[in-house]
Structure 1
Amino acid sequence: MNNCVFITGATSGFGLACAKLFAQHGWPLILTGRRLERLAQLADDLGSQCPVHYASLDVRDSQQVADLVADLPENFKQVSVLINNAGLALGTDPSQQAKLSDWHTMIDTNVTGLVNVTHALLPSLSQQPVASVINLASIAANWPYPGSHVYGASKAFVAQFSRNLRCDLVGTGVRVTSLEPGLSESEFSLVRFAGDQQKYDQLYGNSNALQPQDIANIIYWIVSQPAHININSLEVMPCSQAWNNFNVVKQSES
């Protein structure tokens, strides 16, 4: 069975929306995430639409990633789409108040985790006549804002790593895209706000933010392009979001 889609972080947000959309089109799915109960339920929900294989996975653990890929069932070994969606932001405090442990977790997940999964699947992807790697970056990769510090830096890595992969894979059938969403409504922000629902509601109330389904639709469109087309990077914001003036702090006269 060919044309399998491998999705990290499939239990919520963009990953969950992608799983549902690709299932509707009959793509065989390899669903991974850290919440096994959610994966099992999702596999049960989608199993009537397409073949599904699922496994608990911590992308930060390189050996666990390598073992999972090596042990894929025979009819799921030919991965032609990788959606590197697993990632997180922790905290909105300025750098001088941020927790070092949060910084390490973001780097381990957003950078190391993405590298682990990509490296493990490149052999399979490179064997396909047409393949796609979709790396979920962020507008934070391109535009700084207060409280972004390590999160934005980690997403800048994702964007640059995607471009570098393109250089190495040119002439093969593997296409690489850095997808860079702006304000998006999902569990992602609840995690960032440490479960503070009030803070979440204040951010998203009446904002008409991007929804996970919007991002899934974009990803499916990227994958569906003719084989000779590569979408290098794509930045997308809701119409309610735009840039603002530079911050200028004026000194008081002594």
Structure 2
Amino acid sequence: MKTILITGATSGIGKSTTELFAKQGNRIIICGRRTDILESLKSELSQFTEIFSLMFDVRNLDEVEAAINSLPEEWKDIDVLINNAGNAHGLDPLSEGKTDDWDSMIEGNVKGLLYVSKMIIPRMKTKNLGHIINISSVAARQTYANGVVYCATKKAVDVISEGMRLELTEFGIKITNIQPGAVETDFSLVRFKGDNEKAANVYAGYEPLKAEDIADAIAYCVNAPKHVTISDMTIYPSAQSEPRTIYRK
């Protein structure tokens, strides 16, 4: 049984991963921005295991520090950190991009990951044990037009993961960087600011990945033998050949 902290746990990949690990009997710290959704998820999963909820925005350092410092002593020894929280906003060329969108992506996808990791890593180093899973994207592998800032933030996740591995392997801490392709969640709905038609078109004409597929991959990495580290994993739906190319019926 592991103690696992998951950011962005209330929807999409984070929620599916939370559900899977809870059903495997791990103790879960679920993190998100809405107390009502956190409490609903906690109530739903408490039948399987112990659940602790933390409400904070990963983009806000003060909130991150206060929330993680508030953990009771019996919850502070975190075995696995899953940096899942992140976002995509807009699909505009740089010349027409909204700086608020850029700030949100940089703060959530990069700074938020750093803030949470900084709070968790010292205790892992003291124990000489731990595992950090960072959720990147295939957008880190190939920049595409109109998504430059999002791609840049996910490339940053790749680089941070590599740097973590260089700094933390000697302390027995595993680092796994996961790059999902097209996954049908509310990702596109957020990117297109609630435009259901645009979001639906992203997943039309082929079978995209499901959040559960990524949760299965995360669980595989976490449950691997102690001497095995899955350093990087790229996951596409079978209809996708690279970030920009999807074969639709």
TM-score by length of 2: 0.95
Aligned equivalent of 2:35: 36
Provide the rounded CA distance (Å) in 2 between the counterparts of 1:211 and 1:54.
Answer: 25
Aligned equivalent of 2:142: 143
Change (3 A) 1:244 1:222: closer
Provide the rounded CA distance (Å) in 1 between the counterparts of 2:91 and 2:115.
Answer: 27
Aligned equivalent of 1:199: 198
- 1:16 matched to 2:15: yes
CA contact (8 A) 1:132 1:174 kept: yes
Aligned equivalent of 2:125: 126
Residue 171 of structure 2: SS of its match in structure 1?
A: coil
Aligned equivalent of 1:89: 88
Provide the rounded CA distance (Å) in 1 between the counterparts of 2:89 and 2:168.
Answer: 33
Provide the rounded CA distance (Å) in 1 between the counterparts of 2:157 and 2:242.
Answer: 22
Provide the rounded CA distance (Å) in 1 between the counterparts of 2:33 and 2:242.
Answer: 35
My pick for the range that moved more, 105-114 or 223-232, is 223-232
Provide the rounded CA distance (Å) in 2 between the counterparts of 1:172 and 1:244.
Answer: 34
- 1:58 matched to 2:68: no
Residue 240 of structure 2: SS of its match in structure 1?
A: coil
How big is the alpha-carbon RMSD for the aligned residues of Structure 1 and Structure 2? 1.5
Aligned equivalent of 1:219: 218
Provide the rounded CA distance (Å) in 2 between the counterparts of 1:239 and 1:198.
Answer: 23
Change (3 A) 1:72 1:240: same
In the TM superposition, 1:89-108 aligns within 5 A as 89-108=88-107
Provide the rounded CA distance (Å) in 1 between the counterparts of 2:221 and 2:234.
Answer: 13
CA contact (8 A) 2:39 2:53 kept: yes
Residue 31 of structure 1: SS of its match in structure 2?
A: strand
Would you say how many aligned residue pairs link Structure 1 and Structure 2? 245
Please state how far the C-alpha of 1:205 moved relative to its aligned partner. Answer: 2.0
Q: Partner amino acid for 1:58?
A: D
What residue ranges of structure 1 are gaps of 5+ in the alignment?
Answer: 247-254
Please state how far the C-alpha of 1:244 moved relative to its aligned partner. Answer: 8.4
Deviations 1:101-148 (A, max 9, x none): 110111011111000000000022224454210000000111111121
Identity level (%): 36
TM-score by length of 1: 0.93
Q: Partner amino acid for 2:78?
A: V
Aligned equivalent of 2:76: 77
Provide the rounded CA distance (Å) in 2 between the counterparts of 1:201 and 1:89.
Answer: 16
What residue ranges of structure 2 are gaps of 5+ in the alignment?
Answer: none
CA contact (8 A) 1:80 1:124 kept: no
Please state how far the C-alpha of 1:3 moved relative to its aligned partner. Answer: 2.2
Aligned equivalent of 2:48: 49
Deviations 1:159-193 (A, max 9, x none): 01000110011222210011000111101111001
Structure 1 segments of 4 or more deviating over 2 A?
Answer: 124-130, 243-246
Residue 105 of structure 1: SS of its match in structure 2?
A: helix
CA contact (8 A) 2:181 2:243 kept: no
CA contact (8 A) 2:78 2:120 kept: yes
- Larger Rg belongs to: 1
Change (3 A) 1:223 1:98: same
Change (3 A) 1:95 1:127: same
Change (3 A) 1:206 1:127: farther
